[in-house]
Chains A and B, each alone.
Chain A
Amino acid sequence: MEIDPLPNGSGSNAATGPETAATTTAITVTSNTAPSSKLSHLTESLKLEHQFLRVPFEHFKKTIRTNHRTVEKEVSAVISSVTDVADSDEISKDDAILSLTSLVSRLQGIKRKLEEGSHAENLQAHRCRARLDHLDSADAENLSEWNNVRLKRVLVDYMSRMSYYDSAMKLAESSNIQELVDIDVFQEAKKVIDGLRNQEVGPALAWCADNKSRLKKSKSKFEFQLRLQEFVELVRAENYMRAISYARRYLSPWGATHLKEFQRVMATLAVRSHTECAKYKVLFEPKQWDFLVDQFKQEFCRLYGMTLEPLLLTYLQAGLSALKTPYCYEDDCTKEDPLSQDSFRKLAMPLPYSKQHHSKLVCYITKELMDTENPPQVLPNGYVYSTKALKEMAEKNNGKITCPRTGLVCSYSDLVKAYIS
């Protein structure tokens, strides 16, 4: 790109080329990396916490809905019983008293159950509020502790999703962050996943029935996939008559929307389980069950407003990319850089490098940032170090400077300042 030299003005900033504007901002950016950027980073980072607030709320909402459904069901049952008693012609007085008394004790039972239910609701409301308070509590003073807790939360999320429940529990307990993690929500998923791993669709179907309306809303075909699998299993067991009646009952309702898949799976009745035809053979492979597990995890995450990928991996990816520079892979990479480690380098391999718009220079000796406060100085051999490091060295050695990388010796007065924008 061709850049015309700026007009030789009086040296002031009167000439306002785009480059000059960029320089001034560059300077303010580098000199302002102190608290203000910390706080704006904090505000931005809180916006990443959607799942943290959403999941306990979805759980809370689910409990409210379930409790309310129980009330509706029980109350209408009681009323219709009263109506039955009142409408029956033959009933004697004693029988009437007896059945009314039993209704009263039934109502007392429901009331007790509802009290338990509302207790559960209150606990969950409390959890939702604890999350809001936790986000609110983050400020400049407790930031490192707060960040520490965030890493633990993210790790618990990862372990729960990978079904390492014991470790997840242990970490949450030992750090006393049970209110800030959702292991219990994942426990619900565990039953279904365990079932699918044992090639049982029962728990998964029950889960579908529990969440019927919401799955329907998101146009999920997970239940259909479960039914297909069950059908395939019947064919595998050569139980063809049952397979047909199963299909009639459970698969045909999906025929209108998923005709292709429906027809394909019906064809297995003809080709049977020992087929070599690739198109049908895959249907009988055990990895179909793994596919169902993945499918379930996705449906589950969507229902609770979780991200589809574990938080840990999302953060890890962004972090590795932001840290990745060509220099990370050199032998003299400082060990404070995570990318000096083989495991991190391996993960970062397929990721893009970070991008910088402004120079950022780190002193080879002190590892501190060189900026306007601590400007870079150039030795006669072209090697650059921070003023702070060089001054200290000169004071200790009677004004002599020794280049730590080349061994060149020179005097402090030989140094030249470099202006980096």
Chain B
Amino acid sequence: MELNNLKDAFDRVAKKQKLSCSKVQEVMDQIVQEIEKAIEMMQSTTLDHKSILAELKKKLHEIAPLAQLEGTQKELNIALSKYPKALEKTLNPDISKAYRNIEFDSHTVNQIIASHFYRQGMFDVGDCFITEAGEAEAAAAMRSLFQEMYQILEAMKSRNLEPALKWAAANSDNLKENGSDLLLGLHQLQFVKILQKGSREEALKYARTNFVPFAGNHMAEIQKLMGCLLYSDRLSESPYAHLLSPTNWDIVAEELTRQFCNLLGQSYQSPLSVTIAAGVQGLPPLLKFMTVMAGKKQEWQSMKQLPVPVELDKEFQFHSIFVCPVSKEQSTEDNPPMLMSCGHVLCKQSINKMSKNGSKTFKCPYCPSDVDAPRCRQLNF
């Protein structure tokens, strides 16, 4: 990225602006000085005041303050006009060029935004937003859903595990079903916390009441934790020092968030964040396309499919897409992907074409095998 270019251009602007400022100061001072000098002369000498005034007038004309300012001002103007040009050259001056003129329902958009604030735990901003936008009913449900989660997380931040433990215990069956170790993770934090306070007996008691249900599947972890008991007053110098790391808290808090969202039937990431992030990756190829296609806006408006492929990072990949490497078309129910005997995969229509509707064997486009169309198997991803 040529940000340095822009920085240089802006530095020039800032420099010229400073210069121009100090020049103005200087010119003003000069004027004040001349006038004060004239006043003093009138007060202290017996010279004719008229001649002093005439002299002052001549002086000021000689100083020609505005002409003096002109030079620095001109340089400033040049810098001022160069910077936006550099911006336009380095960056994309109008990203709404890729915008299709489709009216979004602002009610729906506002609802999405309000939900986003609530699920990110920004309750104040969310409340303010729904009042201002007049969408009072819209996202209220989301607010109450996530309020409990953020209360639990807030408590964890101040190293209080009670609400988290209570929630995890109440939902332990669901958590087990999802294969989550959240409850053990929380107990582990609590155990280490007790131990850190130096109370070995209490820690042992805690372990006895809480670790037993996990003995079956998590023997190794529990053994380690019990090993800690030996070092209760000097845990930080023991082989178990890593148990004290605050990142353990972050990891458990993240798992709690994930499980909480999951049980609410919500996604882990805010859907608005995901969509905007996808948009940021999707816009550049679209804009490039718009520049190439300038003037053909009409076509673009009526398209069923984006005119250019948009490669998103894999975190945005939620569905299996099969593109036939021969026809370059995406598979559909009527044109499903088929596995050939060699292990390569093509779409049904391509196989039909190459085998003349199954009447002859053909060669796989990727390897030397002969393929018999009727022996191809349909795949389900």
Measured CB to CB, the residues of A under 8 A from B are 1-3, 5-6, 8-9, 11, 17, 19-20, 22-23, 26, 29, 33, 37-38, 41, 43-51, 53-54, 57-58, 61, 64, 68, 71-72, 75-76, 78-79, 82-83, 85-87, 91, 93, 96-97, 100-101, 103-104, 107-108, 110-111, 114, 118, 121, 125, 128-129, 132, 135-136, 147-148, 150-151, 154-155, 158-159, 162, 164-167, 170-171, 174, 305, 307-309, 311-323, 325-328, 333-338, 340-341, 343-344, 346-347, 350-362, 364, 367, 369, 376, 378, 382-384, 405, 416-421
Contact = CB atoms under 8 A, between A and B. Distances in A.
A322 B379 contact: no
A190 B316 CA distance: 38
A314 B99 contact: yes
A121 B98 contact: no
A171 B124 CA distance: 9
A155 B113 contact: yes
A159 B31 CA distance: 48
B280 A150 contact: yes
Interface of B: 1, 3, 6-7, 10, 13-14, 17, 20-21, 24-25, 27-28, 31-32, 35-36, 38-39, 42-43, 49-50, 53-54, 56-57, 60-61, 65-66, 69, 73, 76, 80, 83-84, 87-88, 90-96, 98-100, 102, 104-106, 108-109, 111-113, 115-116, 122, 124-125, 128-129, 132-133, 265-269, 271-284, 286, 303-314, 316-323, 325-328, 330, 332, 339, 342-345, 350, 353-354, 362-368, 377-381
A11 B368 contact: yes
6 contacts: A1-B326, A114-B24, A158-B113, A167-B128, A305-B84, A325-B319
A416 B327 CA distance: 24
A46 B1 contact: yes
Contacts of B282: 318-319, 321-322
Contacts of A58: 84
A11 B367 contact: yes
- Tell me the dominant secondary structure on chain B's binding face: helix
Given A86-B54, A416-B343, A421-B325, A355 B310 contact: yes
A101 B94 CA distance: 54
A253 B339 CA distance: 76
A418 B53 CA distance: 99
A76 to B, nearest CB: 7
Contacts of B323: 356-359
A1 to B, nearest CB: 6
Contacts of B353: 2-3
A47 B278 contact: no
Contact of A132 (B7, B24, B342, B344): B7
Nearest to B278: A319
A109 B365 CA distance: 85
A159 B319 CA distance: 33
A93 B42 contact: yes
A33 B108 contact: no
A45 B279 CA distance: 10
Contacts of A150: 276, 280
A348 B284 CA distance: 19
B49 A318 contact: no
Contact of B14 (A61, A129, A357, A376): A129
